[in-house]
Structure 1
Amino acid sequence: MNDRTWLTQLEATLTQEHETQTARLTQLTADTGDPAEAHTNAALIAATRHSLEQISAALRRMAAGSYGSCERCGTAIARERLEILPHARFCVPCQQKLNG
């Protein structure tokens, strides 16, 4: 599959995942009235919001034409990495440096 086809399919997948996560967030923020679920729901809401932020940022990079380039060094992020972690902002060496 060529890069353009792959990128188009990835964008469609990310868009669908964004819609799914948005629906999930709507469900999680509905007040169930059960105080026992409040802590669990708060953690799920935070994780869902983080996921939405990552997906949105990846979609913005796609629209801007900067998707797939490391934000730190500017080199291309390996396609294999993007297939596993489509919202990756850094190449592996830069991510390792950031993680210490």
Structure 2
Amino acid sequence: MKKFIYICLTLVVVYTIAYDLKVGTLQPYNQKAAPVAAISIQNSTPYQKVKISSGDTVLSVIERLNPSSLSKPIPDLTKDFQRLNHGIRPESIQVGKSYNFPVYKKN
């Protein structure tokens, strides 16, 4: 039984090495990396800087800044927040720090 397990383990290791050498998981060294799309510096969304208090969430602050009912979907709100704050995720905000929150025009 031990011999069978060693043979299977050896076959798995050989297959893994062959696959890695044939297909590979890393980009070859001599190829250039794909160009990353430049992020537009210019923001078309107006914003307001707000200092986060205990209990604040991105959605609660956006609702407070935009008292009229928002017709934008939540994923759009979070994308706007991330764009205004250099990719900071809404779940990562910290109490006491200031962030830029989008202010939308009333419909």
TM range (shorter): under 0.3
TM value normalised by structure 2:
0.23
Q: TM-score, normalised by structure 1?
A: 0.24
Query: Which of these two proteins has the greater Rg computed from alpha carbons?
Result: 2
> Hey, which of these two has a bigger chunk of strand by percent?
2
**Greater share of helix:** 1
